[in-house]
Chains A and B, each alone.
Chain A
Amino acid sequence: MPLLELRDLSVLYGGVEAVRGVSLKVEAGEVVTLLGSNGAGKSTTLRAISGLVKPASGDILFDGRSIAAERPESIVRRGIAHVPEGRRVFPGLSVRENIMLGASNRTGLSKSQIAAEADEMFDLFPDIRRFAGSLGWTLSGGQQQMVAVARGLMAKPRLLLLDEPSLGLAPVIVQAVFAIVAEIRRRGTTVLLVEQNARMGLSVADRGYVLETGRLVLSGSPAELWSNEEIRAAYLGGRTAA
């Protein structure tokens, strides 16, 4: 049984059908990348999984049971953490507080336990350790991305949804972010990654799907997608075959 399964999922966004009949599966332990250009419906798909928007039709199964009607608060308690587009670090809270709040879905933890876990996060993200006491808004985009991912991991998720972690970051920072995705995968957390940056997105993935104007048009291993002419043309910058 897959950890996550979307069955014929359709979602409206502003009255328009942004996701149209998408079916996909994510097995436990996999990193799956959802590729697509701006407006293809990638973010809307993730927002439906985490309960921020309700599907117009179709179903979302986590561990074989439907979560399509549940609220975001209860979905994250089931073990799906969503690191949304734009990072959404709380601007007026410190980095440490932001990360600590990532454990809000887990019950029965004392404040000191959570603080200790947040400190361990700085081992995984050493670049932000020295900003532990700084307010969220003072950080750069790359640092905020680290905080957002660390906060997501504090939920101890079984499935981590990552929405365009490379967006707006300098190439060297993108490398650092994807090194962390690889590390998360090594630790055995299942990841559903949304990316426009196909090269980086596929480099860490077991499988990939390609979304175009709300529909899945392709799926396969990174090597298969890599060798597809249309994908190379659309997402990898220029045609290589003459």
Chain B
Amino acid sequence: MDLALQLLFTGIGIGSVYALVALGFVLIFRATNVVNFAQGEFSMVAAFLMIVFSVKLELPYWLAFLISLGGMALLGALFNLAVYYPLRHRTYLPVIISTIGASIFIANTVLAIHGPEPEVMSGWFETPGFLVGPVYLDSQYLLIIAVTAALVALQYWFFEHTLLGKKLQATSQDKEMAALLGIPVAAMIMITFVYSAVIGGIAGILVAPVLFVSISMGSTIALKAFAATIIGGFGDVTGAIIGGLALGVIETFGAAYISVPYKDGFAFLVLVLFLVFRPQGIFGERVAEKA
């Protein structure tokens, strides 16, 4: 029982990272009807920016964090202009290929500048963690969970209670109608890309002390987050969060009780089972076909 509680905590911690990256997937998917296969690279680039500003240049942690997120906002904007915008009137296929190309380009750009060695980043806190009853609470995992919860709450408030949030939703549901009402569609999509790059970046920075910072971390995280969106139901914000958390818990329990080397395998086993038996995911198809 004690072990199960411990695993649950760790699972929710790592699952929060998947949930944040999955949110990035879902928001861009809803705005553009296309899966952004470079979403994981946003996390990787942000982690390397953190290494540059915090570890190499020894700036204060919070300052390095803000500069890195500023860099991510810029990357999101450039990504939109270079990868999506020129192809916005095409079908989904050229856009998907374009995001895959961008993913390879971004990963290799970082490789060319930095080299292949992984980096180690320390956590935010001096205290590595503390015991609450039988459960050891790692402070970095606590931070990940707290930041994820805060971001999800903030995003919920933004989408449900602001006019801009409603305009973003309207744009994702029917771009042509949104334009007819005078909603600046191109600006709405730009905001979506910038925001998705920033939350992907936050996920990468949060998880960096837990994993090694490496070129391949982007694709690893993105695969898990992609699985999380399938489990939750593609295009559903709540589903992405639940799916991410569920995936983190499943793979942590699988690693502890069944096999550590097959840790990643459990995530993909669950993904395959969902694709076969419930491809619409847990929360899929909530907006039924229109009457």
Contacts and interface: CB of A to CB of B under 8 A. Distances in A.
B287 A151 contact: no
Contact of B177 (A71, A77, A88, A100): A88
Interface in B136-184: 162-163, 166-167, 169-170, 173-174, 176-184
Contacts, number: 74
Give me the 3 closest cross-chain CB pairs, A-B, nearest first. A105-B182, A72-B179, A76-B182
Interface of B: 162-163, 166-167, 169-170, 173-174, 176-185, 287-288, 290-291
Contacts of B167: 101, 104
A100 B181 CA distance: 10
- A interface bracket (residues with beta carbon within 8 Å of B): 20 to 34
B147 to A, nearest CB: 27
Contact of A104 (B162, B174, B182, B287): B182
**Interface residues of chain B: helix, strand, loop or mixed (majority):** helix
B166 A88 contact: no
Interface string A140-174: 11000000000100010000000000000000000
A93 to B, nearest CB: 6
B180 A91 contact: no
B180 A93 contact: no
Contacts of B170: 90, 93, 101
Contacts of A91: 173, 287, 290
Interface string A115-141: 000000000000000000001010111
Nearest to B171: A90
Interface of A: 50, 52, 71-73, 76-77, 81-82, 84, 88, 90-93, 97, 100-102, 104-106, 111, 114, 135, 137, 139-141, 151, 155
Contact of B183 (A93, A101, A137, A141): A101
Contacts of B183: 73, 101, 104
A169 to B, nearest CB: 12
A50 B180 CA distance: 7
Contacts of A88: 174, 176-177, 180
Given A84-B176, A91-B290, A104-B178, 9 more contacts: A52-B176, A73-B185, A101-B166, A101-B167, A101-B170, A104-B181, A137-B288, A137-B291, A155-B182
